[in-house]
Amino acid sequence: MHPATARTVEAVWRIESARLVGALARSVHDVGLAEDLAQDALVAALEQWPESGVPDNPGAWLMAVAKRRAVDRVRREVTLERKLEQMGRELPTGVDPVEDTEFDTHVTDDVLRLMFTACHPVLAPEARVALTLRMVAGLTTEEIARAFVVQTTAMAARITRAKKALAAAGVPFEVPVGDELTERLPSVLEAVYLLFNEGYTATRGAAWTRPTLCEEAMRLGRMLGALAPQPEVLGLVALMEIQASRLAARVDAQGEPVTLLDQDRTRWDRLLITHALDCLARAGQTPGPYLIQAQIAACHARAARAEDTDWTEIARRYGELVELTGSPIVELNRAVAVSMADGPQAGLAIVDTLVDVPALQSYHLMPSVRGDLLTRLGRTDEARVEFERAASLTANEAERALLLTRAAQC
């Protein structure tokens, strides 16, 4: 296959896969089957587009082929004539898949249904998030395995079990309401948050960021904000938009990482920041982890220069977040804020209480933060060891290079 065609197919799949799976699930009432049919359509595209060319309406082409495969499967495996007739009416067998096919009018609803179906409480929390990332965000099983720090084979088995569990439980393909919506919403928010984080700082590979994943996460977040404009949902949208506003400034002309304090803030996207601050204003002050993180991000966004940052307020907010979550990673972030407000020795005192925390033993930012604080205190030999250890723990090539550069500077 020509590389340009392969890139086009990949791009179309990334854009259309969630809509395709969602629309098919609405027809066949089985999320696992819907994904299989969508994959069949993708295989057809890979086989036919190199010779026939990419159609003018690639999303509709995929949908048409997938529906035809669904009809074929019903003929082979299902004896319910009503179901066959219903799907047959949607796409007569004599029609070419590219002709007379309209876009689905339920696109937004279908993607939302797919998100909430994947996050049904019949599944364990980690399975809900993994399935959402797979079917809604279009991440590969390998990418999801990286985010969860597990083997790809283990993640593949987890996703397969999740789809079978949904089918066995007869989970309806719908957006829940009332208490059911409230119950599933945290898992949906977590999936969107993990997707954004993978885009903001890639876990592996040569690229420091993956902006397309950030864009997809923001799209899903905004849809959730329209459906359930609750403080935490609006907080997550605001958080993602403020973070995404920095994407262009996070790398230099050569694609090398640029840290927050060194970024050219004139390159920050002020439109995203303005929209995010409006979300924060509508969210109110109800404390929640996403809302507090958004308030911290807003402190950075409001500072025209790095030296104008209100680090005392940021440290206070991180203190609230630690009380709410008990997370050692949040405490590590608080240490950074305290070091900026009260000096590196104050920050190091906090970090040193975290050295033996099991959850941070393989977390590369732990030695990275400690190395930075030691550098500021003039303890360069100790700092070099910390930066080298941090470099050994990250799988991102750009980040590893940055850490090794800092080690060499010591």
- Kindly list the distances between the CA atom of residue 386 and the CA atoms of 180, 333, 359, 373, in Å, as whole numbers in the listed order: 46, 17, 17, 10
Task: Quote the radius of gyration of the chain (alpha carbons, Å).
Answer: 24
Number of domains in the chain: 1
Is there a domain that residue 58 lies in? Answer: yes
| DSSP-derived secondary structure for 329-356 | HHHHHHHHHHHHHH-HHHHHHHHHTSTT
Taking the C-alpha atoms of residue 309 and residue 113, their distance in angstroms, rounded to an integer, is 41
The model's confidence at residue 405, banded by pLDDT at 50, 70 and 90, is very high
Is there a domain that residue 51 lies in? Answer: yes
Show the domain range for 20: 3-101
Is there a domain that residue 349 lies in? Answer: no
More confident residue, 3 or 25: 25
Predicted confidence at residue 89, as pLDDT, reads 56
Model pLDDT for residues 77-89, shown as the tens digit of each residue? 555 455 545 555 5
Is there a domain that residue 32 lies in? Answer: yes
Is there a domain that residue 19 lies in? Answer: yes
| Full-model pTM | 0.73
Spatial neighbors of 116 by CB under 8 A, at least 6 apart, are 174, 175, 176, 181, 184, 188
Q: What is the pLDDT averaged over residues 391-409?
A: 93
- Ramachandran angles phi, psi of 378, nearest 5°: 80, 10
Model pLDDT for residues 365-374, shown as the tens digit of each residue? 999 999 999 9
How is residue 353 written in tokens? 């209480």
**Angle, in degrees to the nearest 10, between helices 211-227 and 231-244:** 160
Any idea what DSSP says for residue 100? S
Q: What is the pLDDT averaged over residues 138-161?
A: 83
Burial of 301 by CB count in 10 Å (0-12 exposed, 13-18 middle, 19+ buried)? buried
Is there a domain that residue 270 lies in? Answer: no
